[in-house]
Amino acid sequence: MDKPIKLSDAKSLLEAGIRAGMVSDLSDGLPKYIWSVDVDGVVYEAKTDPNGHGSYHGYPLENDDAVRDYILSEWKTRCQ
């Protein structure tokens, strides 16, 4: 079971992902996905909320998720 993170930490992760350019193509003027990695190496994905323009829902990616490995590799390259 994933443990919840503080809202301030979630906002920091979202901002770090944007600064690193870890975003998908735009949908309605905003990235549909934003990815980030915390200090423990946990990869998070934030997805736009289809019912709330500008709102995101974030969650950690599972270790067996192929996207997770790609995001982690890109994060290490972009955020050294």
Own/partner pairs for 54-58, CB < 8 Å, 24+ apart? 54/30, 56/14, 58/10, 58/13, 58/14
How high is the pLDDT of residue 17?
96
Global pTM value: 0.88
CB 31 within 8 A of CB 24: yes
Specify the residue for token string 């390259």: 77
How high is the pLDDT of residue 72?
94
pLDDT digits (tens, 9 = 90+) for 22-75: 999 887 788 999 999 999 999 999 999 877 677 898 999 998 888 999 999 999
User: Into how many domains does the chain fold?
Assistant: 1
| H or E element, residue 30 | strand 30-31
How high is the pLDDT of residue 16?
96
- CATH number of the domain that residue 45 is part of: 3.30.720
Residue 61 covered by a domain: yes
Residue 42 covered by a domain: yes
2: confidence class by pLDDT, cuts 50, 70, 90: low
